[in-house]
Amino acid sequence: MKKQAGVFILSVISLLFAGYARAQSITLVNPVLSGFYPDPSIVQAGSDYYLVNSTFSYFPGIPVFHSKDLKNWKQIGNVIDRTSQLDFMGERMTRGLFAPAISYHNGTYYVTCTDIDHDGNFIVTAKNPAGPWSNPVRIPQVRGIDPSLYFDDNGKAYILYNSDAPDNKPLYSGHRTIRMYEFDPVNLKVTGEEKQLVNGGVDITKKPVWIEGPHIIKRNNWYYLYAAEGGTSVNHSEVVLRSNSVWGPYIPYEKNPILTQRDLPEDRKHPVTSAGHAQFVEGPDGKTYAVFLAVRPYAGDHYNTGRETFIAPVEWRDDWPVINPGSKEILYDYPANIKEAKQRNALPQSGNFSYTLRFNKKLDPTLLFMRKPDSTAFSLSQKNGLLLKLKPETIMDLGSPSFIGKRQQHIYSTAETQLMFTARTPNEKAGLIIFQSESHFYFLARSMAGNQEVVQLFKGIPEEKKMEMLAEIPLTGNTSKLGLRINSEGATYSFYYSVDSKNWSLLKEKVDAKFLSTKVAGGFVGCIYGMYATSSGEQTTNSASFRYLKYAGNDPMYR
């Protein structure tokens, strides 16, 4: 009997332990931030994690995400949320802010970044990562891109960055260096002399290109300098070097790169490509993880969702870090012995999901304006939802059109809105747009043709500041509340309308989505579903009301 009782007690303990282990385990689903969230940078502050991304010329700039488990992320603010901080007017959408890096030291959060066309490299600070953040302080001595801070354990701080070739005499196209200054984190100034840490990359005899996105960490008395190499397309990678001094010399790992997908078969199922631009962080389980950018193409090198934020475990081998050690391919999910910490009132960011944004109180922080919000051009109310005034500016101009958008976060997705609007002239148009650049977009609009109300579909004409009509259909009956819907289906988009937001009619199906891909349109951004209203160069007092924005994604890798 005593033996049986002992076996029973051990069985109960085993079951309890198994249940506890399950409660402490999660699955990290990639991308952890789906859609146009490139150039991730992450910092740990106690039990909290904060992550930022590039936003280029969209406003607000540099979203700040918070997590406690590296899985569930909630946007808590934006670093650039006041027009007095930076001005992106006159810039193309793919310019603006490149590659922010977030740091934390002695109760202060720091973000370094590059305003590529105007202010160059700058730094902002905050006591609370949700904001407010300070006005930018320029760092003119830091000439290049992708600055990041490193705080050593001896109290000293450094700023390192991508810069020109030695003496500004490149040996080949893409020849760059990594350089560093000592930094005064109180007065936000460089001190001492600039020093070159890396010339070209891991092996300059092989003509490596675009060494960028550098970071330094210290572990077991080694200083590790790790950075992206190979450019941000299919040859992207992450490499690492180390030294016993923060100033070098830095010796490369003989098994570099520590992350890349460039050598894998192109025909693999649900490929992840272009991986690099990584940063390490210690997880709640005490293990090292890397966040990095990568993309999910639907055909070849064509993708519309932009560069996304991924995560993978890091293994230390002979005092060298290796990202994603158990697989050549980046996986869509990784198990981790971390207790899940869900975020209240957070929009989902990974896997397949859906949500509805209603415009009756305030705009969700994930929504984007072009360059600069015009507070006189929009309002929110319980009755009208989002009211956009028609402005003469168009999305083909470099100004501030009446546009508010949300990232396309899936290869297969649906965006839908309900529009209340009556055009007075053919110049007046309002509706739903899928936008990649000033010349690469599709615009599903309500307008006028002669004296007839119509639904029209337009396509941007590259480099001409014009658009061509692809389809038009007259509206009849009660169309006071017009539903508009855009479906993304991998390599195509389809466009629908509804007079009751229940029964949908096809306007045009299977329009070429590759036209909006980064491969065709160029640049560094992803596609944005936007609510847009314009008077096409003319003055007007007319407005358009959008009741909601519904979004749903259904990608095959998660089914």
**Which of 336, 365, 398 finishes a domain?**
336
Domain co-membership, 391 together with 261: no
In this predicted model, what pLDDT tens digit does every residue of 341-366 receive, in sequence order? 999 999 999 999 999 999 988 999 99
Range of the domain at 317: 25-336
Give the DSSP letter string of 379-431: EEETTTEEEEE-BS--TTSSS--EEEEEE---SEEEEEEEEE---SSTT-EEE
CA 282 to chain centre: 22
* Residue 218 and residue 250 share a domain: yes
Domain-located, residue 504 = yes
Please report the pLDDT score of residue 268 as a whole number: 94
92, part of any domain: yes
Judged by average pLDDT, the poorest of 18-32, 191-205, 466-480, 530-544 is 18-32
Question: Greater confidence, 404 or 500?
Answer: 404
**Do residue 364 and residue 292 come from a single domain?**
no
Same domain, yes or no: 400 and 327? no
Q: Identify the active-site residue in 39, 81, 238, 428.
A: 39
**Band of the pLDDT at 546, cuts 50, 70, 90?**
very high
* pLDDT on residue 4: 53
39 catalytic per annotation: yes
Overall number of domains in the chain: 2
Q: Looking at 310, 336, 362, which one is the last position of a domain?
A: 336
Give the tens place of pLDDT for each residue, 389-420.
999 999 999 999 999 999 999 999 999 999 99
Q: Residue 23: its pLDDT value, please?
A: 57
**Which amino acid makes up residue 201?**
G
Residue 394's domain is classified under what CATH number? 2.60.120.200
pLDDT tens-digit map of 130-186: 999 999 999 999 999 999 999 999 999 999 999 999 999 999 999 999 999 999 999
Does any domain span residue 346?
A: no
Kindly state whether residue 123 falls inside one of the protein's structural domains.
Answer: yes
Identify whether 132 is part of a domain. Answer: yes
pLDDT at 116 over 60: yes
Average pLDDT over residues 8-13: 43
This prediction has a pTM of: 0.94
Please tell me whether residues 296 and 376 are part of one structural domain.
Answer: no
Helix, strand or coil, per DSSP, at residue 19? helix
What is the Cα–Cα distance from 476 to 428, expressed in whole angstroms?
A: 18
pLDDT beyond 70 at 252: yes
Q: Does 116 lie in the same domain as 65?
A: yes
User: Tokens 């970044």 label which residue?
Assistant: 113
Would residue 14 count as lying in a domain? no
For residues 475-479, average pLDDT: 87
Residue 361 shares a structural domain with residue 292: no
374 is catalytic: no
The rounded distance, in Å, linking the Cα atoms of 454 and 451 is 9
Average model confidence (pLDDT) across the chain: 94
Flag whether pLDDT at 19 surpasses 60: no
Cis, bond preceding 321 (omega within 30 deg of 0):
no
Query: Which pLDDT score is estimated for 383?
Result: 86
The pLDDT of residue 7 is: 46
State the Cα–Cα distance between residues 240 and 322, nearest whole angstrom: 9
Task: Tell me: do 328 and 364 sit in the same domain.
Answer: no
Q: Rounded mean pLDDT of 77-100?
A: 96
pLDDT at 11 over 50: no
Identify the active-site residue in 91, 212, 428, 555: 212
d(CA 271, CA 269): 6
Report whether pLDDT(8) > 50.
no
Cα–Cα distance, 341 to 361 (Å, whole number): 27
554 near 124, Cβ under 8 Å?
A: no
**Residues, the chain:** 559
In a domain, 10, yes or no: no
Reply yes or no on whether the pLDDT at 475 is more than 90. Answer: yes
50-54, 116-120, 328-332, 515-519: the lowest-pLDDT one: 116-120
pLDDT for 189 equals: 97
Confidence category of residue 18, pLDDT binned at 50, 70, 90:
very low
| Residue 16 placed within a domain | no
479 and 383 housed in the same domain = yes
Do both 175 and 315 map to the same domain? yes
CATH number (domain holding residue 329): 2.115.10.20
Residue at which a domain ends, from 286, 307, 336: 336
pLDDT of residue 20: 42
The residues, ordered by sequence, that sit 6+ positions from 65 with a Cβ below 8 Å of its Cβ are 33, 50, 51, 52, 73, 74, 75, 76
Does one domain contain both 126 and 176? yes
- Residue-wise pLDDT for 370-388, tens only, equals 999 999 999 999 888 999 9
Q: Are residues 438 and 318 in the same domain?
A: no
